[in-house]
C-alpha cells in the first residue's frame, strides 16, 4: 500500500527551530550580544534576493512570505511562522547573498543575528550545527514538495 502524501503544508512551514536550545549559557550570551530585534509592518521587505547577507534571521512573531522575484514574476516558496530561520543558505561562506526575498505577511518581529557570530556558533557547537543541518534539510524537502504541489495543480 502506497504511503499517502500530505499536501496541506505545501506553503506554510510547520517546522519550528530548536537549534538555539542546543547552546550553552556562554554561547547564549554570545548570541545575545550579536543580535538585534527589528519590527516590520505588514508588507515591509525583510531581505531582498541578491542583496548582501550580513545576518541570519529568526522569526520571533508574525508571518513571513519567502519568494523568488525576477522583476516581472514572483513565486511564493513558503510562509514562515514564528520559530523559523531566514537566510540559512547564506551561512555557507561561499554564498554571501540572499537567495530569495522575504516580506512581512503581517506585522512581524525578527531577530537579526550577525552572520559571522552565527558561523562561529556552528563551528563551536556540534549539536547546534547538526540541528541547523536538519533545518536546512527540512527546508529543502518543503521546497521540493511546494514545487510538486505547483506542478500538479489542477486547472
The domain spans of the chain are 19-146
For 5, list phi and psi in degrees, rounded to 5.
Answer: -85, 145
* Of residues 148, 126, 44, 136, the one with CA closest to residue 99: 136
Cell reading at 42: 505588514
* Predicted pLDDT at 77: 86
* Predicted pLDDT at 17: 75
Q: Taking 50 as the threshold, does the pLDDT of residue 119 lie above it?
A: yes
- Tell me what the mean pLDDT of segment 72-96 comes to: 87
Q: Taking 80 as the threshold, does the pLDDT of residue 142 lie above it?
A: no
CATH of domain 19-146: 2.60.120.10
Return d(Cα 27, Cα 148) in angstroms, integer. 39
Is 0.85 topped by the overall pTM?
Answer: no
* Of residues 105, 53, 59, 107, the one with CA closest to residue 82: 59
* Of residues 98, 103, 76, 75, the one with CA closest to residue 87: 98
Q: Taking 60 as the threshold, does the pLDDT of residue 8 lie above it?
A: no
Contacts of 142 (CB under 8 A, 6+ apart): 9, 13, 15, 78
Q: Taking 90 as the threshold, does the pLDDT of residue 149 lie above it?
A: no
Cell reading at 44: 515591509
Q: Taking 50 as the threshold, does the pLDDT of residue 143 lie above it?
A: yes
Contact 130, 138 (CB under 8 A): no
CB-based burial label for 11 (10 Å; 0-12, 13-18, 19+): middle
* Predicted pLDDT at 12: 59
* Predicted pLDDT at 10: 53
Amino acid at each position: 500500500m502506497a504511503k499517502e502524501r500530505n499536501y496541506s503544508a505545501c506553503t506554510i512551514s510547520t517546522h519550528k527551530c530548536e537549534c538555539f536550545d542546543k547552546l550553552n549559557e556562554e554561547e547564549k550570551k554570545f548570541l545575545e550580544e550579536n543580535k538585534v530585534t527589528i519590527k516590520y509592518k505588514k508588507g515591509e521587505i525583510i531581505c531582498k534576493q541578491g542583496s548582501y547577507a550580513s545576518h541570519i534571521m529568526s522569526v520571533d512573531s508574525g508571518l513571513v512570505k519567502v519568494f523568488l522575484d525576477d522583476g516581472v514574476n514572483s513565486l511564493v516558496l513558503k510562509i514562515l511562522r514564528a520559530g523559523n530561520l531566514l537566510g540559512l543558505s547564506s551561512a555557507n561562506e561561499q554564498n554571501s547573498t540572499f537567495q530569495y526575498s522575504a516580506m512581512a505577511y503581517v506585522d512581524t518581529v525578527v531577530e537579526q543575528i550577525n552572520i559571522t557570530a552565527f558561523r562561529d556558533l556552528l563551528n563551536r557547537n556540534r549539536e547546534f550545527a547538526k540541528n541547523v543541518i536538519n533545518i536546512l534539510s527540512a527546508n529543502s524537502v518543503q521546497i521540493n514538495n511546494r514545487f510538486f504541489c505547483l506542478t500538479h495543480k489542477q486547472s
